[in-house]
Amino acid sequence: MDVLETAYFVCVLAIVILSVLLNAIIIFTIIYKIKVTKLPHVFILSISIFDIIHTLIGFGAELNVLYGIYSLKKSFVCIGASFVTFFITASNILKTVIISIMRAISIKWPFFYIKYCKTVKVRTLLLFFCYLYGFLWPSFPLIGWSKYEIDLDKKRCSLDWNLTHSGSLSYLITVFLFCYFLPIIGLIFVYNAVKEKVVSKCTVKRAQVGTNRDILEMVYLKLSLWSVIFYFVIWTPYASASLLSIFKIKSPSVIYTLCALFSKLSAISNALTNCYFNKYFRNHIKKIKLFQCFINRNKESNDNVTL
């Protein structure tokens, strides 16, 4: 294993450890501290569970290839890991978009949100739709629309970037539109809608709405902005790789290694944007005994320095 491969797997290992830790704390906090089943919490819980599975399966598969435990030529292993990864990725992208839309609706049309969006039926249908959406895209290559192939850097199984299948071109174009372009347009639209609500002087007076409402709107604006930024940074490399393939432009294999590395960062960015950048969620984290001990020790050390 050369220096570049060693550096790559060290980076991947660091991402896996950090993402598992962050998402495990989220799962624990939602289940044992928040103890509610509102739509955002259910979606965030699902995203965190999926992200842990995603990072562990992806890292495990690449380690097996690295140490020669199995070959990528074994199609069932290659296709299985790629299918699960694609399913989780597409599903989590849609969940992120829906969470952002629900936040915008709760700010712009709070009565509509309370009456319809908070119901168990709507929550179940939306979650089912995300799972179905995530399941359909990796299923198409299995039924003849494109196919799975060994990635150009030989580290994993991926999509048919070389367009060796007759349906790969149309498939990559469709995936680019529905799994990258439309989601980012949706996130930008939500950000603009929330920003318009926050800065507008023609809405309900802040004095009548209350301070908490004002703070909540600012928090949602911040989360919407970071959702757009992280989504663009993390998924633009893979979108660019798709465009290179669509226009049949040859590119070095290291590009696809970087694409895979950036995609793994989504497990961390999802945790940050959905929870850790949210002051209300951080307040729940502070209730965990381990963090309380850390906070108290930090206060004591600061007091001693002050004295």
The CATH number assigned to the domain holding 243 equals 1.20.1070.10
On the question of pLDDT at 258 being above 90, the answer is no
Lowest model confidence (mean pLDDT) among 7-16, 47-56, 88-97: 7-16
Q: Which two tokens stand for residue 67?
A: 């140490």
- Which DSSP state fits 141? G
Residue 19 lies in a domain: yes
Residue 301 lies in a domain: no
- Beta strands at 148-150 and 157-159: parallel, antiparallel or unpaired: antiparallel
CB 156 within 8 A of CB 61: yes
Residue 307 lies in a domain: no
Residue 82 lies in a domain: yes
Per-residue pLDDT averaged across 282-286, rounded? 81
Residue 42 lies in a domain: yes
306 or 112: whose pLDDT is higher? 112
List pLDDT tens digits, range 180-205: 999 999 999 999 988 888 877 445 54
72 or 276: whose pLDDT is higher? 276
List pLDDT tens digits, range 58-107: 777 777 766 665 555 556 777 888 899 999 999 999 999 999 999 888 88
On the question of pLDDT at 304 being above 60, the answer is no
Residue 125 lies in a domain: yes
Per-residue pLDDT averaged across 9-13, rounded? 86
On the question of pLDDT at 130 being above 90, the answer is yes
CB 9 within 8 A of CB 62: yes
Domains in the chain, number:
1
Per-residue pLDDT averaged across 24-49, rounded? 86
Residue 299 lies in a domain: no
DSSP string, 81-139: HHHHHHHHHHHHHHHHHHHHHHHHHHHH-HHHIIIIITSHHHHHHHHHHHHHHHHHHHH
CB 149 within 8 A of CB 162: yes
Lowest model confidence (mean pLDDT) among 10-14, 34-38, 173-177, 232-236: 34-38
pLDDT of residue 305: 40
CB 222 within 8 A of CB 277: yes
- Vertex 155: Cα angle to 151 and 160 (nearest 5): 10
Lowest model confidence (mean pLDDT) among 56-70, 265-279, 292-306: 292-306
Residue 285 lies in a domain: no
Per-residue pLDDT averaged across 207-215, rounded? 57
Residue 240's domain comprises: 3-280
